[in-house]
Amino acid sequence: MINILSQNPHWQGIVSLLQPKRRTVVENVLADLDTDLIALITGPRRVGKSVLLLQVLDHLIQDMHVSPKQILFYTFSPSDTSDLLESVFGEYIHEHCDLNKPFYLFFDEIQYLDGYEEKIKRIYDTYKGRAKLFLTGSLSLNYKRRMHESLAGRFFEYRMFPLFFDEYLYLKDDADYDQYKKITTAKDAALTLGFVKKYRQEFETFLTLKRLPETIWLTDEQSALYNENVKGQSLNQDAFEYFDIASPNTLQALFSYISAHNGLEFRGRAVAQKLAGVSEITISKYIDVLEIMGMVYIAYNTTNSLKKANSLRKIYLSSHNSDPLLNIGFAVESYVLEKLLSQKKEVAFYRKRQQEIDFLIPNEKIAIEVKYRSDTTHFDLTNMQQFSQAHGYQNQLITLNEYAESVELSKLPAMLL
């Protein structure tokens, strides 16, 4: 007999001690509670997917007064067999749940179960209108194909990223976060530059060491060790449990190569030649693995999905995966891309002959250059201004400590993005 009581202490009135403050994505999930669609929460290791589930569960009980027995929580593990989902759900609906009332199913680390998509689809279709499902987990290489085939039109995806600076301040200290809100609301150049000067060192430490929630209250040395452990678990455990990795050494070598060439153009054939004995097909597959695990992000020199395969591309590491000793400018550029992706913007870059723009948001006609240094020059803006004049784009410069707003050009410190 399956013992699901231990995973559901809320049935006995035992409330978990949670971080009371919620990340932005939690609020997005709560806003969609009245829909039937499955909430699929994705993201890399240790960004807070399980905490998100528990915060939603707590909201249902404390704020919406849902009976605890109408909520099932279950975390799966690598040793679980594919039939466990049916067993857990069967015991729940027969022994604990009132099927005449709405009920909520939280399945954490669902990817450990082979063929879970069809089982989830069956539950969704059978109990639509009565059951709300929440799924989290790192995802397999063919996740997108299987999810869209099996659960097409049945889910919202909520993509979690490492912390952004406003979230970090919010979780860490109310006074600091109040200062941040004041600055972003006031839009005063003098106040903004004073804030940037005060928080510059903390922002740069945050970028390289404090982007995972559990690192906020650790020392810098502890944070560095924690981040390395998480990165190692992703490369040495997750990659082999979820993906068909034939060459562990190749994956490690590829990740090291990207680390040393963060944000530069990536040509699979050239990289395959550098990593002797590796095919371009293997390089492409392993890039997909790293992207799905949330360890890298890809920007293309086009937004046309039909042209991406033959397009130039750049690959960026999330700053929490990078070497803290690398140039801070690379971490800032990765951070800007993550911030744009978190806002569900379609992001590309532009490269034609010698003209290059860091990021484009074609749907909004915005061109973005990242120059994380003091006193940018006219030369820094030449390519962007020429491109924008030719294509009708607005210009945005992400800086270290410059702030200005105008129709022609806005300048914004990276920590306020």
Are the CB atoms for 286 and 250 separated by under 8 Å?
yes
Average the pLDDT over each of 106-115, 135-144, 362-371 and give the range with the smallest value.
135-144
Are the CB atoms for 399 and 414 separated by under 8 Å?
yes
Mean pLDDT (whole number) for 395-404:
92
Q: Is the pLDDT of residue 366 over 70?
A: yes
Amino acid at 225: L
Check residue 143 and give its pLDDT: 52
C-alpha angle with apex 264: 262 to 270, nearest 5 degrees?
Answer: 105
Are the CB atoms for 357 and 386 separated by under 8 Å?
no
Query: pLDDT digit string (tens) for 305-357?
Result: 778 878 899 999 988 888 877 789 999 999 999 999 999 999 999 998 888 99
Tell me how far apart the alpha carbons of residues 92 and 79 are, in angstroms, rounded to a whole number: 21
Proportion of the chain above pLDDT 70, given as a percent: 96
Instruction: Output the pTM of the full model.
Output: 0.92
Tell me how far apart the alpha carbons of residues 203 and 337 are, in angstroms, rounded to a whole number: 16
Mean pLDDT of the chain: 90
Burial of 382 (0-12, 13-18, 19+ CB in 10 A): exposed
**Angstrom distances, CA of residue 125 to CA of 91, 121, 298:** 19, 6, 35
Q: Is the pLDDT of residue 112 over 60?
A: yes
Check residue 139 and give its pLDDT: 54
> How crowded is residue 57: how many other Cβ atoms within 10 Å of its Cβ?
23
Are the CB atoms for 270 and 283 separated by under 8 Å?
no
Burial of 407 (0-12, 13-18, 19+ CB in 10 A): exposed
Amino acid at 112: Y
Are the CB atoms for 187 and 405 separated by under 8 Å?
yes
- Residue 161's pLDDT band (cuts 50, 70, 90): very high
> How crowded is residue 132: how many other Cβ atoms within 10 Å of its Cβ?
24
Check residue 148 and give its pLDDT: 58
Q: Is the pLDDT of residue 108 over 80?
A: yes
Check residue 296 and give its pLDDT: 94
Higher pLDDT, 238 or 138: 238
Tell me phi and psi for residue 156, to 5 degrees: -105, 135
Amino acid at 277: G
Mean pLDDT (whole number) for 131-151:
69
Q: Dig out the tokens for 62 from the structure.
A: 């404390």
**Angstrom distances, CA of residue 258 to CA of 92, 276, 333:** 46, 16, 14
Q: Is the pLDDT of residue 141 over 50?
A: no
**Alpha helix segments (H runs only) across 110-238:** 116-126, 143-150, 165-172, 174-186, 189-209, 220-233
In the DSSP assignment, the letter for residue 322 is: S
Query: pLDDT digit string (tens) for 177-210?
Result: 999 999 999 988 899 999 999 999 999 999 999 9
Cα-Cα-Cα-Cα torsion 148, 150, 156, 162, nearest 10 degrees, comes to -70
Find which of 136-145, 319-328, 331-340, 399-408 is predicted with most confidence, using mean pLDDT. 331-340
Q: Is the pLDDT of residue 142 over 60?
A: no
C-alpha angle with apex 207: 275 to 359, nearest 5 degrees?
Answer: 70
Q: Is the pLDDT of residue 231 over 80?
A: yes
Domains of the chain with bracketed CATH: 5-159 (3.40.50.300), 166-416 (no CATH)
C-alpha angle with apex 274: 271 to 277, nearest 5 degrees?
Answer: 100
Proportion of the chain above pLDDT 90, given as a percent: 67
Check residue 339 and give its pLDDT: 96
Query: pLDDT digit string (tens) for 6-59?
Result: 999 999 998 777 788 999 999 999 999 999 999 999 899 899 999 999 999 999
Amino acid at 145: R
Q: How many helices (H) and strands (E) does the chain have?
A: 15, 12
Q: Is the pLDDT of residue 223 over 80?
A: yes
Give 119's contacts (C-beta < 8 A, 6+ positions apart).
85, 86, 113
Tell me how far apart the alpha carbons of residues 237 and 153 are, in angstroms, rounded to a whole number: 32
- Residue 157's pLDDT band (cuts 50, 70, 90): confident
Are the CB atoms for 352 and 321 separated by under 8 Å?
no
Query: pLDDT digit string (tens) for 264-276?
Result: 999 999 999 998 8
Give me the helix-helix angle, 189-209 and 328-342, nearest 10°: 100
